[in-house]
Structures are given as C-alpha cells and as structure tokens.
C-alpha cells in the first residue's frame, strides 16, 4: 500500500519533488492544497499539471476520513465517528468557543484527537479500553482528524463558520504561514481514544506536521497531550524541541486509590510518575495539569484532597476536576454536585489552583470511546 502524503514532512518531500525536476514552488502548492484547502483528492488540485497529479497518485495515497456518525446540535460540541481505510473506527470531538481549559483563553475551537484504535491500558472506568487495543493510528490518520473536521464544518449545514473558503493557492508560490484565521481548529487536546504516549513516534510526527507553518500552523502551546502516566515517555517528551502542554490523568493521589482503577499504576507507581513529571517541569518550565475524574465512592472522599494537594504543590500543577461520565455496562457513577463542589472547595482551601467542569448535556460531552462502542455494538447486533 502506498503511504499517505500527509504522513510526510515538507523536508521529506523535497527530495522526491526535486527528482521529478519540478520548480520549487510546486511542493508549496501541494502543501497548500492539503493543509489550507483540505483537498481530499488529487483531481481537486486544479492548478497542478495533470502529469504531476498522476505522478503524485502513483507515489502517494490521499485518504480522507469517512464520517460514519455525528452527535451534537448546531454550534455546540460535536462528536464525530470516523471510519478508517481498514474499516476501524475512531472518534474526535469538536468543542467550540470556550475559554479554553487547556490553552490560553480562546474564542476559537478545540479538537479532541484520538491516537489509537481502542486502548491497551484498561482503566476500569473508560470506554476506550473496554474492548482492548486494535492498533496505533498512522501519522496521516492523526493529522486527518483536524482536516476532516474542518471539511465537515465548511459544509453549509454545519452551522460553523470556516474562514478560509477563498484561499490563494497557486498565486503565491513562496511558503507562507497559514493566516491564523484560516484554521477553524486552533487548539488540540490529545485526549481522544488511546494512550498518546504509547504511539509516541507517530503522534510526535503528526504534531510536528500540525504545528508547522507549511502544515496546520497550530501553536505548540495550543496542543495538550494527555497521558495515563507512561513515565519513560514523559521523560522523552521533556527533551523534544516543541513545547507541548502536558496533562496527567491522575484520578487518584495515592497508589492505593490509583491501583484500584488504573492498571498502569502498577507499572509506573506514583513515585516514578511524579519523578518524570518533575523532570518535565524542570526542563520545560511549563505548568502541568492534573486531570482528576470524580467517581462516587472511589476517589471523591475529602481525605483524598490532602495527598492531591501535596502532589499539585510539588509539581506546581493545576488540577482539573471532571465529574465522571457514565459508561454503559460499567458500574461507576458521578458524585452529586454537592460532593463535587465540596471536593473543589477543600482543594482550594489547601491553596491549589483547581477548576471543576460544570458541564451540561454530559451525554454528548462524554469522554471519547463511547460513540464507537455504541456503534460497534449496534452493528454487531444487526443481522448480516
């Protein structure tokens, strides 16, 4: 199978384009078609000679994600279920204009991106891990989630305004930074299905492409990677030249609580995880976010706030409290609002910077993995 052109960086494409004796600006035209105009076929690239389009088609594939199902009403959070070329399904979630939880305040849009089909880490509360791990996403499949979402948003019925409809492809051969207003998605959270740091190389390459001025043009500081706690990869991430934001899915501030719900904690217990986070923090000088889902009777007792506050202070981290979203077939439930508010107040009392997601309509805001699970189960029930 040919590799998709969106899995290559500009530098990697220079040599093949040179070997075809093309003028230098051709590559930049192609990149504009891919990342500004979000072309999903070679035929759309009308200002390229037919011979070049044929040559490209012989050397690279150009896959677009296929939309299988979408949840969400106009102008609100949209959840997409995409089908990949091998039939596997993944989710992305588009969260509109929101004083961003993870980046700086923003009036634009955040996309929650998947990195694997399923997940091998098996956290007890999570839908993504319920049916195990199938495979890593390729670089182009990670990149395509942004482009396919924007392609959908550009359709009239979406209710979203995408500002780049009239681009200048072909008129300016030199590489030009995409105008900031050309992207609908300007914040990324790598919090969809899968454990991002278990697909490290593909994720990092996809993020380089989504960050590059010739590619997605999304600032590294607008990209948050969430991990369940793969300590060695956190240390590796600390060495990367790009300054991504880091969120840790903590969900328990003692080994005892974390062991109950997150098997990964047996491999990388808290001492090791926090050591890696301290290294990240030292090298990056970036604030880490600790994600803490509140699950009734599991980690929502007030006595848990003390070790949580100690950890937050040690890592100079802020804490995001997230009321648990019910997953079909799992017994866990979210605590009452009173319990949530009391937990938040106790943390603040201990001097921690904390937020509580007070969400409405959490059936659609629910974490990734649930729409896929539901659809796969429905498909399995249907007679052939």
Positions in the binding site for ligand SF4 (CB under 6 A): 119, 121-123, 126, 128-129, 194-195, 228, 249
Q: Is 305 one of the binding residues for ligand SAH (CB under 6 A)? A: no
Please choose which of ligand SAH, ligand SF4, none residue 4 contacts, taking the beta carbon within 5 to 8 angstroms, the exact cut-off set by kind.
none
Q: How far is the CB of 93 from ligand SF4 (least distance, A)?
A: 13
DSSP code at position 7: G
Q: How far is the CB of 59 from ligand SAH (least distance, A)?
A: 34
DSSP code at position 366: P
Q: Is 126 one of the binding residues for ligand SAH (CB under 6 A)? A: yes
CB closer to ligand SAH, 31 vs 327 = 327
DSSP code at position 4: B
Q: What CA–CA distance (Å, rounded) separates 32 from 5? A: 13
CB closer to ligand SF4, 60 vs 121 = 121
Please choose which of ligand SAH, ligand SF4, none residue 206 contacts, taking the beta carbon within 5 to 8 angstroms, the exact cut-off set by kind.
none
Interacting residues of 28 by C-beta distance below 8 A, sequence separation 6+: 173, 174, 175, 214
CB closer to ligand SF4, 24 vs 132 = 132
Please choose which of ligand SAH, ligand SF4, none residue 129 contacts, taking the beta carbon within 5 to 8 angstroms, the exact cut-off set by kind.
ligand SF4
Selected range binding ligand SAH among 17-25, 32-40, 123-131, 296-304, rule: CB under 6 A: 123-131
CB closer to ligand SF4, 158 vs 228 = 228
Q: How many chain residues interact with ligand SAH (CB under 6 A)?
A: 17
Residue 204 burial (CB count, 10 A): 19
Q: What CA–CA distance (Å, rounded) separates 258 from 250? A: 8
Q: What CA–CA distance (Å, rounded) separates 135 from 115? A: 9
Q: How far is the CB of 263 from ligand SF4 (least distance, A)?
A: 9
Q: Is 202 one of the binding residues for ligand SAH (CB under 6 A)? A: no
Q: What CA–CA distance (Å, rounded) separates 293 from 311? A: 16
User: What's the token pair of residue 11?
Assistant: 């530098």
Question: Three-state SS for 2?
Answer: coil
Q: How far is the CB of 60 from ligand SF4 (least distance, A)?
A: 31
**Burial call 148-172: b when 16+ CB within 10 Å, e when fewer:** bbbbbbbeeebebebebeebebeee
Q: How far is the CB of 18 from ligand SAH (least distance, A)?
A: 39
Please choose which of ligand SAH, ligand SF4, none residue 191 contacts, taking the beta carbon within 5 to 8 angstroms, the exact cut-off set by kind.
ligand SAH
Q: How far is the CB of 61 from ligand SAH (least distance, A)?
A: 28
CB closer to ligand SF4, 122 vs 307 = 122
Interacting residues of 34 by C-beta distance below 8 A, sequence separation 6+: 5, 6, 147
CB closer to ligand SAH, 56 vs 225 = 225
Q: Is 191 one of the binding residues for ligand SAH (CB under 6 A)? A: yes
DSSP code at position 242: S
Member of 4, 36, 140, 195 binding ligand SAH (CB under 6 A): 195
Q: Which residues pair with 70 in a beta bridge?
A: 80
Q: Is 62 one of the binding residues for ligand SAH (CB under 6 A)? A: no
Mark whether 368 is an active-site residue.
Answer: yes
Are 321 and 279 in contact by the 8 Å Cβ rule? The answer is no
The string of DSSP codes covering 288-346 is -EEEEEE-TTTT-SGGGHHHHHHHHHHHT-EEEEEEPPP-TT----PPPHHHHHHHHHH
Mark whether 91 is an active-site residue.
Answer: yes
Q: What CA–CA distance (Å, rounded) separates 368 from 360? A: 17
Rg (CA), the chain: 21
Question: Three-state SS for 360?
Answer: coil
Q: How far is the CB of 191 from ligand SF4 (least distance, A)?
A: 8
Catalytic residues, by residue number, are 91, 368
Contact set with ligand SAH (CB under 6 A) = 123, 125-126, 191, 195-196, 226-228, 249, 291, 293, 322, 324-325, 327, 367
């Amino acid at each position: 199978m040919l590799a998709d052109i969106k899995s290559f960086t500009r530098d990697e494409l220079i040599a093949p384009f040179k070997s075809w004796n093309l003028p230098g600006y051709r590559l930049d035209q192609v990149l504009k078609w891919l990342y500004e105009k979000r072309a999903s076929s070679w035929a759309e690239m009308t200002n390229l000679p037919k011979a070049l389009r044929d040559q490209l088609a012989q050397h690279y594939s150009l896959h677009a994600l296929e939309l299988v199902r979408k949840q969400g009403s106009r102008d609100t959070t949209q959840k997409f279920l995409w089908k990949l070329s091998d039939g596997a399904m993944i989710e992305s979630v588009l969260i509109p204009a929101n004083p961003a939880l993870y980046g700086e305040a923003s009036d634009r849009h955040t996309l929650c991106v998947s990195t694997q089909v399923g997940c091998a880490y098996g956290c007890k509360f999570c839908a993504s891990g319920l049916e195990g791990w199938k495979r890593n996403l390729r670089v182009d499949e990670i990149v395509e989630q942004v482009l396919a979402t924007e392609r959908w948003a550009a359709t009239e019925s979406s209710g979203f305004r995408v500002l780049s409809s009239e681009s200048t492809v072909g008129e300016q051969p030199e590489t030009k930074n995409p105008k900031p207003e050309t992207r609908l998605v300007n914040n990324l959270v790598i919090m969809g299905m899968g454990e991002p740091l278990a697909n490290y190389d593909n994720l990092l390459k996809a993020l380089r492409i989504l960050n590059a001025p010739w590619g997605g043009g999304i600032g590294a500081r607008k990209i948050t990677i969430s991990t369940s706690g793969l300590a060695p990869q956190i240390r590796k991430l600390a060495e990367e030249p790009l300054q991504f934001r880091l969120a840790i899915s903590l969900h328990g501030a003692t080994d005892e609580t974390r062991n109950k719900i997150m098997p990964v904690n047996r491999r990388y217990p808290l001492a090791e995880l926090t050591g890696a986070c301290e290294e990240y923090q030292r090298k990056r000088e970036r604030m880490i976010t600790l994600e803490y889902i509140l699950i009734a009777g599991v980690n929502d007792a007030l006595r848990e706030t003390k070790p949580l506050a100690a950890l937050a202070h040690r890592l100079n981290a802020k804490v995001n409290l997230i009321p648990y979203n019910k997953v079909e077939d799992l017994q866990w439930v979210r605590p009452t609002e009173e319990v949530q508010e009391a937990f938040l107040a106790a943390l603040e009392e201990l001097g921690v910077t904390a937020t509580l997601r007070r969400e409405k309509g959490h059936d659609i805001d629910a974490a990734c993995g649930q729409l896929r699970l539901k659809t796969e189960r429905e498909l399995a029930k249907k007679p052939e």
